[in-house]
Amino acid sequence: MSSERVDDPQVRVTDSANRTALSDEVTDGTCSPTNHPMNLPTSGTAELVVGFTADAPATHSPSLRQPQFLHYSSIVFDVASHGRELLMPLLFGFVGAASGSWFWGVIAVAAFAFSFLRTLIRYFTLRYQLVDGELILNEGLIFQNQRIVPLAKIQNIDLMQNVLHRIFRVAEVRLETASGSEAEAVLRVLTDSQITELRQAVSLSRQTKNSIELNRAVSLPGAAASSNPSDPTQFSLPDTSNSIVGTIAEEQSVMPVLSIPLLWLFIAGLAGNRGWLMVGVALGTAYQFDLHERILPQQWEAWLPVFAWNWDDLWNNWLSFVSLGAVAFAVLKVLGVAWYVYRFAGYQLVRQGNDLRVTAGLVNRYSMSVLRPRIQFISIHRPWVLGWFRFVAIRIETAGGAGGGEESSENLSRTWFIPVVPAREVPRLLNEIRPGLLLQEDQLNWRTTSEQTRARLLRMALMISIVVMAICVFWWRYWGLLPGAAFAGHQIWYAIRRSRSQRYARTNFGIVFRSGILYRKLSCTFFDRIQTLRLSQTPFDRSWNMATLAVDTAAAGPADHKIDIPYLDAEFARQEFKSLERAAAEHRPQWRQ
Partner 1 sequence: MSDNDVPSNNEILWLSKTSGTDEVLTGPSTAVEPVSTDGAPSALSPPTTVALTENKSIDQSMYCSLDPRHVQAERFVAMIVSIVLSLLALVGVVIVGFSLGFTLLWLGITTGILLLLVMLILFMFFWPPISHRHVRWKLDEIGLEIQRGVYWQKTLSVPLARLQHADLTQGPIQRQWGLAKLTVHTAGTENASVELDGLAYETAVELRDRLLRQQGVVDVV
- Least distance in angstroms from the C-beta of 226 to partner 1: 9
Radius of gyration from C-alpha coordinates of the chain: 31
Distance CA 234, CA 213 (A): 31
Contact between 589 and partner 1 (CB under 8 A)?
A: yes
Binding mask 189-218 for partner 1 (x = CB under 8 A): ----------------x--xx--xx-----
Query: What distances in angstroms separate CA 286 from CA 280, 281, 295, 343, one per listed residue?
Result: 10, 8, 10, 22
CB closer to partner 1, 73 vs 205: 205
- Of residues 10 through 29, those in contact with partner 1 by CB under 8 A are 19-20, 22-23, 25-29
- Of residues 220 through 259, those in contact with partner 1 by CB under 8 A are 228
Q: Dump the DSSP string for 480-494.
A: GHHHHHHHHHHHHHH
Cβ–Cβ < 8 Å for 196, 62: no
CB closer to partner 1, 28 vs 407: 28
Sheet arrangement for strand 375-382 = 418-422, 391-398, 375-382, 520-526, 510-515, 503-506, 447-448
CB closer to partner 1, 21 vs 270: 21
- Of residues 434 through 493, those in contact with partner 1 by CB under 8 A are none
**109, 178, 324, 350: which one contacts partner 1 (CB under 8 A)?**
178
CB closer to partner 1, 27 vs 364: 27
- Least distance in angstroms from the C-beta of 503 to partner 1: 19
**1, 9, 15, 40: which one contacts partner 1 (CB under 8 A)?**
40
**In a 3-state reduction of DSSP, which class is residue 226?**
coil
**143, 311, 474, 478: which one contacts partner 1 (CB under 8 A)?**
143
- Of residues 359 through 388, those in contact with partner 1 by CB under 8 A are 374, 376
- Least distance in angstroms from the C-beta of 544 to partner 1: 11
Task: Report angle CA 215, 132, 77 to the nearest 5 degrees.
Answer: 125
Instruction: Tell me how many residues contact partner 1 (CB under 8 A).
Output: 94
Task: Report angle CA 369, 552, 496 to the nearest 5 degrees.
Answer: 105
Distance CA 159, CA 176 (A): 11
- Of residues 399 through 438, those in contact with partner 1 by CB under 8 A are 399-400, 402
Contact between 52 and partner 1 (CB under 8 A)?
A: yes
Contact between 42 and partner 1 (CB under 8 A)?
A: yes
- Of residues 525 through 554, those in contact with partner 1 by CB under 8 A are 529-539, 542, 545, 547, 550, 552-554
Distance CA 172, CA 158 (A): 8
Contact between 524 and partner 1 (CB under 8 A)?
A: no
Q: Cα 73 to the chain's mean position, in Å?
A: 37
Query: b or e along 184-215 (b: 16 or more beta carbons within 10 Å of the residue's beta carbon)?
Result: bbbbbbbbbebbebbeebbebbeebbeebeee
CB closer to partner 1, 349 vs 549: 549
- Least distance in angstroms from the C-beta of 535 to partner 1: 4
CB closer to partner 1, 497 vs 562: 562
- Least distance in angstroms from the C-beta of 46 to partner 1: 6
Cβ–Cβ < 8 Å for 523, 379: yes
CB closer to partner 1, 373 vs 516: 373
Distance CA 548, CA 529 (A): 20
